[in-house]
A and B are shown apart, each in its own frame.
Chain A
């Protein structure tokens, strides 16, 4: 049996590579050093597929892992300083702009165009056109689709007679009603809402998920971080104040140490049944169905990010009600702005590597992303890969085989699809030095707000002052044109 499996794998690899133009043993003797963060998420599937790829082509795929918080720095330092010990990396497309500007990433546009096995058309438009590209050239290959959704306990919702939250007020009401109930049968009071709010982790995307529906309503190209005319920060007005108020209030229905909870902690809490609501990436969908670790199998529903009935009027800085003009993309009078937080793990190639290495790296990433491999990997929570191809939403079989009930699969995939198809999706900040804007200024200000050091006014001032200062240092004109480029502003 084992031999048969191996043969089948090798065979499919060969076929897959055959249509990319790569022949077996073509990359004999080529070593590709791929860097990503320590798994098992992301790293494990790369290692597994790497072994298969190695067998079929002779290339040696070496997956090197570093802590998540060091990945950006390590790659950048390695490439900018000319050390070049890393040939390719799997990292956030959001960081792409910092790597592309000094010319560190290989332009993959031609290879992608010639690559039939990749089935680019199957990749959702958002990832294909926005996430993988910068200035209309493709620099990265998506292997994972990332954006935020709200997950809720369907059984609790039924008990309380509530629907899936559509606005943030719904979310708060749901959390308030559920808070204090025993939701996992252990006799202890549980929590209404669990959000990861730990500093220097992944929490600074959460506030953008809450705020974007208030700030962006005219489509992706309107942008949700800065004004497209003069680069003034959009986190300093009534809309953001309202978002901060909501974000703070979710803490009232949360564990007392929420301020020190990371995504790993909140996922553990949710899958062990202690939370009614959570805000997270796509992982909960696949983690919840794992019978070994989850207590809420078949009790989880997913819904696209809640929206708002009032949006920001940029001229006046005030919140106005949704109308056909102010909210052209509103659904049932509610403006939604699904947020592609982080952008989804994607593979990029070092432009200074040897040609043979670059080719092998590209072929490897293509192999990982091809439907035959990707569609299986996205159904397994431990891989960390979330759906990003249309075929992954349409073909239910993989999901039901993995253990999701038909209903849960439709619900989960439906939420993702709604987000993907929304014309008002929010693109994560991709201007140069985005790490400073988000990780240093935004994250610190929000952490201080949650710790009670700053009030809402003070928080907004801290963010906008900090952002404006960085913009000034980097050169307003440059930052503005980069910002307009990434969101495709007219």
Chain B
């Protein structure tokens, strides 16, 4: 018998099985080992780290709770506050990103939009004039903005009959998704200036708003695929029966897309929970989030590996628990959406 010939139909050859399982377990080791290292480092004293690698607690070294004590007790509120901020900011921004994004995705999947190219051009022109007025002539930006919007509406009305090419759903979708290409570093300082003018810097509201916007493209992208794959019949018959589009959305489409919702919201939650650059720019003290605390452990006196390990652990644990909870829905959810590309 050859190692690579399958003995039974539908089962793999023993040789193949060995290779496959060993590769899978190898990668599992690659994934787990760094995390194991983080866990045991959180119980190490500085001298254990600088002395060379200690692999096994209780055997190579005596574990100590000093790092845990420092993070939870000595720093106490300084750890709790960013943690609470992260929880609040990540959960609220995920909820709203999902709501707005799903609505937009549904609209793009089911309803027809045909914005006129000329309207978009007029919009840009009106805003450009407003910006020019604000910068060159020192007009107060709020006034300039209001005037710009007024000018826009007026021009659109006036030029209603002018023929113009029309864009479609695909173009709108592409525009929304392409926002993801914008590197945060380009937007960080201008957003800071924007919030500073509105006096909402270092507030939860500011960061939540930013995270919602940054994650909307992903929600729209993924949920669009989900909605497109749901058969239209049910919704159409409900529409014929006189139900409003809003009711159809909330009572029919959303429940059908539950797996997709679960998968997407987990992804968005992870992205918000772990985000660093924008939080760095937009928060100082009150709205500081946990990733900032992790980065801050790199003091001038060198990285405090033990404190950092504790922080990394308390960051991962909630997300892992949440994932296990959503495990069943995820597998089906990502399945449906991904296939449609």
Are A and B in direct contact (Cβ within 8 Å)? yes
Are B301's CB and A37's CB within 8 A?
no
Are B302's CB and A83's CB within 8 A?
no
> Which residues 136-168 in B have Cβ within 8 Å of A in the complex?
none
> Which residues 44-75 in A have Cβ within 8 Å of B in the complex?
62, 64-68, 70, 74
Please, what's the 1-or-0 string for B197-215, where 1 marks a CB less than 8 Å from any CB in chain A? Answer: 0000110000000000000
Kindly name the residue among A66, A81, A265 whose own CB sees the greatest number of chain B CB atoms within 10 A.
Answer: A66
Kindly identify which residue among A62, A74, A268 contacts B302, using a CB–CB cutoff of 8 Å.
A268
State how many angstroms separate the Cβ of A198 from the closest Cβ of chain B: 10
Please, what's the 1-or-0 string for B272-298, where 1 marks a CB less than 8 Å from any CB in chain A? Answer: 000000001000111010001001111
Q: Decide if A384 is an interface residue (CB 8 Å cutoff).
A: yes
Kindly name the residue among A38, A78, A85 whose own CB sees the greatest number of chain B CB atoms within 10 A.
Answer: A38
Least CB separation from B49: chain A residue: A268
Q: Is the interface of A mostly helix, strand, loop or mixed?
A: mixed
A: number of interface residues (CB 8 Å): 36
Are B50's CB and A272's CB within 8 A?
yes
Are A268's CB and B201's CB within 8 A?
no
Are A83's CB and B300's CB within 8 A?
no
Q: Decide if B53 is an interface residue (CB 8 Å cutoff).
A: no
Residues of B within 8 A of A19 (CB): none
Are A68's CB and B300's CB within 8 A?
yes
Q: Is the interface of B mostly helix, strand, loop or mixed?
A: mixed
Q: Decide if B192 is an interface residue (CB 8 Å cutoff).
A: yes
Taken together as a complex, chains A and B put the C-alpha atoms of A384 and B302 apart, in Å, by 12
Are B285's CB and A264's CB within 8 A?
no
Are A85's CB and B47's CB within 8 A?
no
Kindly name the residue among B45, B202, B285, B286 whose own CB sees the greatest number of chain A CB atoms within 10 A.
Answer: B285
State how many angstroms separate the Cβ of B64 from the closest Cβ of chain A: 11
With A78-B284, A83-B202, A272-B50 already in contact, the answer to whether A67 and B302 are too (CB < 8 A) is no
Residues of A within 8 A of B295 (CB): 67
Least CB separation from A265: chain B residue: B302
Taken together as a complex, chains A and B put the C-alpha atoms of A384 and B314 apart, in Å, by 28
With A65-B296, A67-B296, A272-B50 already in contact, the answer to whether A85 and B284 are too (CB < 8 A) is yes
Are B296's CB and A292's CB within 8 A?
no
Least CB separation from A287: chain B residue: B301
Least CB separation from A86: chain B residue: B284
State how many angstroms separate the Cβ of B110 from the closest Cβ of chain A: 44
Residues of A within 8 A of B202 (CB): 83, 85
Q: Decide if B22 is an interface residue (CB 8 Å cutoff).
A: no
Please, what's the 1-or-0 string for A289-306, where 1 marks a CB less than 8 Å from any CB in chain B? Answer: 000110000000000000
Q: Decide if B57 is an interface residue (CB 8 Å cutoff).
A: no
Q: Decide if B299 is an interface residue (CB 8 Å cutoff).
A: yes
State how many angstroms separate the Cβ of B73 from the closest Cβ of chain A: 13
Least CB separation from A62: chain B residue: B285
Please, what's the 1-or-0 string for A15-48, where 1 marks a CB less than 8 Å from any CB in chain B? Answer: 0000000000000000001010111110000000
Are B296's CB and A264's CB within 8 A?
no
Q: Report the 5 A-B pairs with minimum CB-CB distance, sorted nearest first.
A: A264-B302, A38-B296, A64-B285, A268-B50, A67-B296
- 27 A-B residue pairs with CB within 8 Å: A35-B284, A38-B296, A41-B299, A41-B301, A64-B288, A65-B296, A66-B284, A66-B292, A66-B296, A67-B296, A67-B298, A70-B280, A74-B284, A81-B192, A83-B284, A85-B201, A85-B284, A85-B285, A202-B300, A263-B302, A264-B303, A265-B302, A272-B47, A283-B301, A292-B45, A292-B47, A293-B47
Q: Which A residues have a C-beta under 8 Å from some C-beta of B? A: 33, 35, 37-41, 62, 64-68, 70, 74, 77-78, 81-83, 85-86, 202, 262-265, 267-269, 271-272, 283, 292-293, 384
Besides A41-B299, A74-B284, A82-B196, 11 other CB < 8 A contacts?
A: A64-B288, A65-B296, A77-B192, A83-B202, A85-B202, A262-B302, A263-B300, A264-B303, A272-B47, A292-B47, A293-B46
